[in-house]
Amino acid sequence: MNLLLTIVVDGLIYGSWLFIVALGLTLVFGVLRILNIAHGGLYAIGAYAAATAVPVVAGLGLPDGFTIVAMFLSALAVAIVVAPILERGLLRLFYGRDEVLILLVTYAVFLILEDVTKLIWGVQPYYVFQPRLLFGNVQIGNLFYVGYDLMLIALAVICGLAVWLGINKTRIGKIVVSVIHDPEMSASMGVNVSRVYLLAFGLGVFLAALGGAFTSPLISVQPGISVSVIVVSFAVVIIGGLGSIPGAAIGALIVGLARSFAVHQVPEAEIFIIYLVMVIVLIFRPEGLFQRVEARKI
Amino acid sequence: MKSNRLLGILAGVSLAGVAAFGTSTVAYAQEDTFKIGVVTFLSGQAAQSFGVPAWNGGKMLVEKLNAGEVPAPYNTKGFGGMKIEAVVLDEAGGASTQVQEFRNLVQREEVDAVVGYVSSGDCLAIAPVADELKQFTILYDCGTPRIFEDGDYEYVFRTAAHATQDNVGLVHYLKAKDVDVSSYSGINQDYAWGHDSWADFQAAMGQIYPDAKVEAELFPAFGAGQYGTEVSALMQKPVDVVHSSLWGGDLQALTLQALPRGLYQQSQVVYSAGDHVMPPLGANMPEGVIVGARGAYGFMAPDTELNKWWFDNYSETFDVFPVQAPYRMAQALLGLKTAVEKAMAENGGKKPTDEELAAAMKGLSWESPGGEIEMAISNGHQAIQPIGFGTTMKDDNGNIILGDIIRFKARCVNPKDGMKSTEWISAGFPDADCD
């Protein structure tokens, strides 16, 4: 019983972390039809920004809770600065082009961002330990967990709900949905499509940076952290269905639980099982779990 | 018109001057400089832990050697009076990229020697190419025993001991410290280094702790970053010892994630090659962890004049104590200096050829900050060296240091010449000199 509980809790924590990152990835694809490999680089910049901001805030003598605010604001700052540069300066030049071409463009951006982080922050590691101390330790079953790790579950739920409600229950969300379905018709009805694209891309960048920012207390922030996250995040959105928010949630949950089961029971299959799940899903649902088959517009 | 002709003449004279000066510079350079191609990670995950500190130390040492400021027996300038000139390349990009870069170093840069390679995959790819091009090459860092156990090269040498000693020495240390081990687990990266380290550790444990049982064998992906689930898996099955050969950011992340969950209180954790995470982790490094450095390096280095000079100079220059990577770069460069000067003593003082360098390096021994390096196995192409282990603890100022240090002789922890590592361990370390 303890083992089952541990597998579930570990799976939820890992899946929550994945979901925060994959949410931005699926949102950007859903709206802009961009498979954004640079998402991993934006995640890394978010981690670096938080690792820079948190010690500054901690040094000001403010209550420790402000370090969480600093992580949130640093992700926001990354989105405000980086999203317009990338979307206005580069990606909009490729809208409507072959998706493979855009994939290559975002891969190039990914490599550039990797070097940009090195130019700005160097190769030395950064640590932010303060936020991880905020929530103490919690005993679940026979093991102790760090409260901060469990808080990630709540953060993932908040992010998922906020984006889902924002798209489905607000006026601007309806505009975004109209652009997703038919950007030309939306434009003819007076929607500023390019602004919607910027907004969606900015939100995607924010979520990537937020994932990086809230991961920074768990790791040493240094070159190379962007690689593994983008690979697994792609697996999540492919399982869930590219562009689907509930799909990303279920995909992250499945990957998290499958990986946790493997680590505890068949550790040699830890990596294999993620892609086994992906293959099984694609065999039976080639569009992913939450994506409907659509007629192609010619 | 006149001014145009004048300009033309001036340009012609300038070009002729440049050409003449350039030729003489090249001639001067060829006679009076020794050009080394240095290849190490300047980007990617291994840069922060290995590549950058290695070349920081290497660059400092080259400057000091050129100035003749290194203590005896290295107090002559440069290599046999020749100024050392280094061309530094990034090791990132994979083995095929490195093979191409190696050819460029040899054929375009016309280096006199190559010193490089952290990745075992790169070493395995470079060694046959070095022999094909007849280029004297020193592998300064990579760990796989397979280089010379599965291959035979004329121009290739490795000036650091291979990885077998890391885990054999570690098990000797556990025994020397009377650590009672009835069960143990491992968390190692899912690639050759992690699997080989775990296999060596298990094999050595089988010899020294034959009754100890393995509980969990975890192999997270290289660069995984998230180890919460692995920590839970390790804690679900309490054991006496948890072994890890993780390195760099992965080891730092594991430490940060495992520390608050009590893994270090539950088990004796051993990091077979973890010294390099102590400076960056600082106060976040738990006490009581047994740490190796793939040599007798840093806090574990012998108390010699050379090491004192090296340790102090490096610490003052970079504001951090030297960990394993710069030590290995230093022992490669000092070995190269010794070989160059030995070859020059035999050829009448000329710059040695690749063949003369290879002959001089074969079976050579020299003093390094980490102790004596002996090219004693694999037909004189593979080094053996002493190795140290220690336990993390805090000094009076609260800084994390290593104490309870034990150094093992090179011939205690390295396989005897002519025997493969795995066979040597399985046979119960025949001819090991551990007195």
Examine the pLDDT at B8 and tell me if it is beyond 90: no
Cβ-nearest to B229 among A14, A115, A219:
A14
Cβ-nearest to B44 among A2, A223, A228:
A223
Residues B169, B134 share a domain: no
pLDDT of residue B49: 87
Domain total of chain B:
2
Is residue B277 one of the residues assigned to a domain?
yes
| A219–B256 C-beta distance less than 8 A | yes
Residue with tokens 């652009």: A179
**Averaged pLDDT, B416-425:** 93
* Spatial contact of A19 and A240, defined as CB atoms under 8 Å apart: no
Give the three-class secondary structure for B74: coil
Cβ-nearest to B280 among A17, A132, A220:
A220
Is residue B66 one of the residues assigned to a domain?
yes
Where along chain A do its domains lie? Answer: 2-284
Residues B275, B401 share a domain: yes
Indicate if the alpha-carbon torsion angle A30, A31, A34, A36 is positive or negative.
negative
| B249–A125 C-beta distance less than 8 A | yes
Residues B125, B19 share a domain: yes
| Chain B positions with Cβ closer than 8 Å to A | 43-45, 47-48, 52, 190, 216-221, 223-226, 228-230, 232-233, 235-236, 248-249, 252-253, 256-257, 260-262, 280-281, 284
Q: Which two tokens stand for residue A140?
A: 């679940």
Residues B80, B195 share a domain: no
* Spatial contact of B128 and B122, defined as CB atoms under 8 Å apart: no
* Separation in Å, CA of B425 to nearest CA in chain A: 25
Taking alpha carbons only, the member of B269, B257, B287, B262 closest to residue A127 is B257
Best CATH choice for the domain A2-284 from the list 3.40.190, 3.40.50, 1.10.3470, 1.20.120: 1.10.3470
Chain B contact set for A270 (CB, 8 A): 190, 218-221
Give the three-class secondary structure for A32: helix
Q: In what order do the strands lie in the sheet with B241-244?
A: B213-218, B183-187, B241-244, B268-271, B290-292, B387-394, B400-408
Q: Please report, for the domain that includes residue B107, its CATH number.
A: 3.40.50.2300
Rounded-to-integer distance, Cα B46 and Cα B251, Å: 12
Residue A75 φ/ψ, nearest 5 degrees: -65, -40
Is residue B431 one of the residues assigned to a domain?
no
Q: How confident is the model at residue B404 (pLDDT cuts 50, 70, 90)?
A: very high
Residues B108, B242 share a domain: no
| B260–A132 C-beta distance less than 8 A | yes
Is residue B435 one of the residues assigned to a domain?
no
**Averaged pLDDT, B258-269:** 95
Is residue B432 one of the residues assigned to a domain?
no
Q: Which residue of A has its CA nearest to B234?
A: A264
Rounded-to-integer distance, Cα B220 and Cα B216, Å: 12
B116 strand-pairing partners: B39, B139
Residues B309, B375 share a domain: yes
Residues B273, B170 share a domain: yes
pLDDT of residue A293: 61
Pure H helices in B209-277: 228-236, 248-258, 263-266
Examine the pLDDT at A114 and tell me if it is beyond 80: yes
* Separation in Å, CA of B329 to nearest CA in chain A: 19
Rounded-to-integer distance, Cα B207 and Cα A202, Å: 59
**Averaged pLDDT, B10-16:** 41
Q: Could you please report the per-residue DSSP string of B89-123? A: EE-TT-HHHHHHHHHHHHHTS--SEEEE---HHHH
**Which residues neighbour A98 within 8 Å (Cβ) at sequence distance 6 or greater?**
none
Radius of gyration (Cα) for chain B, nearest Å? 24
Residues across chain B: 435
Q: How confident is the model at residue A298 (pLDDT cuts 50, 70, 90)?
A: low
| B216–A129 C-beta distance less than 8 A | no
Using CB atoms and an 8 Å cut-off, which of residues 31-90 of chain A contact chain B?
none
Is residue B3 one of the residues assigned to a domain?
no
| A267–B262 C-beta distance less than 8 A | no
Residues B176, B142 share a domain: no
Taking the whole predicted model, whether its pTM rises above 0.80 is answered as: yes
Q: How confident is the model at residue B223 (pLDDT cuts 50, 70, 90)?
A: confident
Chain A contact set for B45 (CB, 8 A): 222-224
User: Which tens digits make up the pLDDT trace of B55-107?
Assistant: 999 999 999 999 999 999 999 999 999 999 999 999 988 899 999 999 999 99
Element (H, E) at B394: strand B387-394
User: Which tens digits make up the pLDDT trace of B162-209?
Assistant: 999 999 999 999 999 999 999 999 999 988 889 999 999 999 999 999
Q: Is A2 on the interface with B (CB under 8 A)?
A: yes
Is residue B36 one of the residues assigned to a domain?
yes
B165 alpha-carbon distance from chain centroid: 13
Residues B89, B53 share a domain: yes
Q: Which residue of A has its CA nearest to B262?
A: A144
Rounded-to-integer distance, Cα B250 and Cα B45, Å: 9
Q: Which residue of B has its CA nearest to A118?
A: B43
Rounded-to-integer distance, Cα A237 and Cα A274, Å: 12
Which domain covers residue B288, as residue numbers? 164-293+386-426
Neighbours of A218 (CB within 10 A): 24
Residues B289, B222 share a domain: yes
Is residue B146 one of the residues assigned to a domain?
yes
Give the three-class secondary structure for B70: coil
Rounded-to-integer distance, Cα A221 and Cα A48, Å: 6
Cβ-nearest to A123 among B48, B226, B256:
B48
pLDDT of residue B30: 53
Residues B393, B257 share a domain: yes
A120 alpha-carbon distance from chain centroid: 22
